[in-house]
Amino acid sequence: MNILMFGWEFPPFISGGLGTACAGLTKGLDAVGGVHTTFVLPAVAGSSAAGAGPGALSYRAGSGEFVNAIRFIEIDAAAPPDSAAAAKPRRSSYSGASLTGEAMRYAASAARMLGTVDDFDVIHAHDWLTYLAGVHAKKVTGKPLVVHVHSTEFDRSGETYNKEIYKIERFGMDMADRIVAVSNYTRDVIIARYEQHPDKVVTIYNATDKHLVTRPARPDAVQRPLVTFLGRITYQKGPEYFIEAARIVLQRNQNVSFVMAGDGDLLPRMKSLVAALGIADHFSFPGFIDAAGVAELFARSDVYVMPSVSEPFGIAALEAINAHVPTIISSNCGLAELVDSVIKIAPDDCEAIAEAILTLVDDPAYAQRLAAGASGELRKVSWDESAGSLKGLYAELVAEPC
């Protein structure tokens, strides 16, 4: 079975969980066998597949492994990045009206590329930035279309959502033969807010590469317990709730440090807020960090907090659990459907978040039990299992009459 897959990012050039998920699923499809994927993504200066064109048979993913049953085609989409941005292994984040223009350029480039692609059975488009390309490919070829919803505009922006992005999302879902949601939480949003028929929407969970993140012995030089936030510093991720919870914690225990790792439009405001609250001595802002940096950070972390306003899945929290870090997540998080041995709290309940942090810091034995329990629950989550479900979905679509 041959799949034409449209994506916006792939390791090591990522901005968040989307690229990680695309890598995990494609490697999973490679592992389960019987699926050959052509992955189309925007060209990024300096990427290892740049210039390789349709003949590229493999791509070095963030894990350092080769994917053998996938080839990559890089097409023009975004305006060329400046030299500073090009040096960083990531793509654009998911906000701003300019991205609608990039999505249209991507779709136009994909249309020109279609004639160079061998025959394929199913089209698979990841997130709204590629939906226009996927719909065009369906119209030209008549092949079934799967759209994969990793995040919605309501997750990213709440009720102040971008209406143009919403229209693209809705159009892609309306035109799709199947819609994949990364959690039942997201499936419910798709059905309610995008008016999609329940029979059309399938939940396939994300996962994590269990071998990527390990937790070595903690360095003796580290004294203060470290509480970590890792993610895009945007409205969706609730960074201000993390900072307010930190303020409350420090009123009761000054021997705690906090790190807010990531980049985003709210980063300058969060730095100013920390300074205004007088807690800058307890905070660090390392910015965007790569996979090796994430592993090193989790090795030093005593608590991980994900206070997202709306989190379709939560790959970063899954990686923290995999690194045996006691974890606090928002109750508005798809991962909450899979893992019980975490503390689940309303994202804006800063008092409760602070209380949970203090409990984990003050009771290492309980924290260790919680981390061990969550890590054990991860055994039921794997990219191979998710890829197997995806392969089954492809097979259903191929078997259905046109």
Predicted confidence at residue 127, as pLDDT, reads: 95
Which DSSP helix (H) or strand (E) runs through 122?
strand 122-126
- Whether the pLDDT of residue 154 is over 60: the answer is yes
Predicted confidence at residue 12, as pLDDT, reads: 78
pTM of the shown model:
0.84
Predicted confidence at residue 86, as pLDDT, reads: 36
- Whether the pLDDT of residue 79 is over 60: the answer is no
Contact 307, 316 (CB under 8 A): no
Measure the CA angle with vertex 37, ends 31 and 41; round to 5°: 120
What is the distance between the alpha carbons of residues 17 and 27, in angstroms, rounded to a whole number?
Answer: 15
- Whether the pLDDT of residue 216 is over 80: the answer is no
What is the distance between the alpha carbons of residues 342 and 326, in angstroms, rounded to a whole number?
Answer: 7
Q: Which of 123, 84, 127 minimizes the C-alpha distance to 102?
A: 127
Percent of the chain at pLDDT exceeding 90: 70
At 123-147, the pLDDT tens digits run: 999 999 999 999 999 999 999 999 9
Predicted confidence at residue 266, as pLDDT, reads: 96
Predicted confidence at residue 46, as pLDDT, reads: 45
Contact 103, 130 (CB under 8 A): yes
At 285-339, the pLDDT tens digits run: 999 998 889 999 999 999 999 999 999 999 999 999 999 999 999 999 999 999 9
- Whether the pLDDT of residue 400 is over 90: the answer is no
More confident position, 247 or 32: 247
Give burial (CB, 10 Å; 0-12/13-18/19+) of 351: exposed
- Whether the pLDDT of residue 169 is over 80: the answer is yes
**Where does the pLDDT of residue 26 fall: very low under 50, low under 70, confident under 90, or very high at 90 and above?**
very high
**Where does the pLDDT of residue 67 fall: very low under 50, low under 70, confident under 90, or very high at 90 and above?**
low
Q: Which of 231, 71, 258 minimizes the C-alpha distance to 151?
A: 231
Q: What is the β-pairing status of strands 226-230 and 343-345?
A: unpaired
Q: What is the β-pairing status of strands 257-261 and 178-181?
A: unpaired
Residues forming a β-bridge with 13: 10
Predicted confidence at residue 88, as pLDDT, reads: 42
Burial 235-274 (b: 16+ CB within 10 A, else e): bbbbbbbbbbbbbbbbeeeeebbbbbbbbbebbeebbebb
Mean per-residue pLDDT of the chain: 86
Residues forming a β-bridge with 145: 123
For the chain, domains (ranges, CATH) are 2-207+382-399 (3.40.50.2000), 226-380 (3.40.50.2000)
Q: What is the β-pairing status of strands 178-181 and 145-149?
A: parallel
More confident position, 210 or 371: 371
Predicted confidence at residue 49, as pLDDT, reads: 41
- Whether the pLDDT of residue 95 is over 70: the answer is no
Contact 208, 291 (CB under 8 A): no
What is the distance between the alpha carbons of residues 397 and 392, in angstroms, rounded to a whole number?
Answer: 9
- What secondary structure letter does DSSP report for 45? T
Tell me the mean pLDDT in the region 261-271.
95
Cα–Cα separations (whole angstroms), residue 214 to 262, 298, 384? 20, 8, 20
Contacts of residue 43, Cβ cutoff 8 Å, sequence gap at least 6: 50, 74, 75, 76, 77
Predicted confidence at residue 357, as pLDDT, reads: 98
Number of H helices, E strands in the chain: 14, 13
Report CA dihedral (70, 75, 80, 82) to the nearest 10 degrees.
0
What is the distance between the alpha carbons of residues 186 and 194, in angstroms, rounded to a whole number?
Answer: 11
Structure tokens at 142: 């008549």
Q: From the centroid of its chain, how far is CA 153?
A: 14
